[in-house]
């Protein structure tokens, strides 16, 4: 089984391909969010719903923020340093959209926490509003598609191999578990 920090279908030596792999997972978990809302309406908050909510929470709490950080801390600044005005505007718009998606995630996250039982352990009757789930399931994939269609194609033209290698190395380091300094 591939974990959240392991990447299927790529390596950090090819950071753009890795980002696209992340987008594929984002699309899968965003779609699962809409399916979960439908499931809750039909069957209520059963074990299947709780398992789905846990998976979505795990992905968007751990892996998705790392993906945004890969773009915000490494890829976007490297591109902005040499981008023409139209590309610069698109990158800045996508960066602003990350903040909107983060806010949307917090709303979805609150509902998912209730579904899994949250801190209280009570999940009975918990729901995920369909309109919220559908917005999430629509907006995240749209955002990923814009990045893939409007920004990523410029990488090969604007960034050299050394810059891409540095981006990949930082992406990999970001996903390493923290090292204990206690000696235990």
Break the chain into its structural domains and give their ranges: 15-174
Q: What is the CATH number of domain 15-174?
A: 1.20.120.520
Q: What is the pTM of this model?
A: 0.87
Determine the pLDDT at residue 2: 37
Dihedral over Cα of 63, 65, 67, 69: its sign: negative
Determine the pLDDT at residue 64: 95
Between CA 110 and CA 77, with CA 21 as vertex, the angle to 5 degrees is: 85
Report d(CA 154, CA 42) in Å as an integer. 45
Determine the pLDDT at residue 7: 44
**Percentage of residues of the chain with pLDDT beyond 70:** 88
Helix (H, G, I), strand (E, B) or coil at 114: helix
Beta strands in 39-158 (DSSP E): none
Helix (H, G, I), strand (E, B) or coil at 134: helix
- Contact status, residue 37 vs residue 133, Cβ threshold 8 Å: yes
- pLDDT tens digit sequence for 101-132: 999 999 999 999 999 985 555 666 688 999 99
All residue ranges of the chain with pLDDT < 70 are: 1-10, 118-125, 180, 182-184
């Amino acid at each position: 089984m591939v974990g959240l920090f392991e990447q299927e279908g790529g390596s950090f030596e090819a950071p753009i391909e890795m980002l696209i792999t992340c987008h594929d997972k984002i699309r899968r978990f965003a779609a699962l969010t809409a399916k979960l809302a439908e499931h809750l309406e039909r069957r209520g908050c059963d074990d299947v719903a709780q398992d789905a909510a846990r998976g979505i929470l795990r992905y968007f709490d751990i892996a998705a923020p790392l993906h945004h950080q890969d773009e915000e801390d490494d890829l976007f600044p490297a591109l902005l340093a040499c981008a023409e005005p139209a590309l610069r505007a698109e990158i800045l718009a996508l960066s602003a959209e990350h903040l909107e998606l983060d806010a949307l995630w917090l709303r979805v996250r609150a509902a998912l926490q209730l579904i899994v039982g949250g801190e209280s352990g009570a999940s009975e009757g918990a729901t995920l509003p369909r309109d919220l789930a559908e917005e999430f399931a629509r907006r995240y994939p749209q955002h990923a598609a814009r990045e893939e269609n409007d920004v990523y194609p410029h990488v090969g033209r604007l960034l050299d191999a050394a810059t891409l290698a540095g981006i990949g190395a930082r992406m990999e380091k970001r996903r390493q578990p923290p090292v204990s300094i206690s000696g235990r």
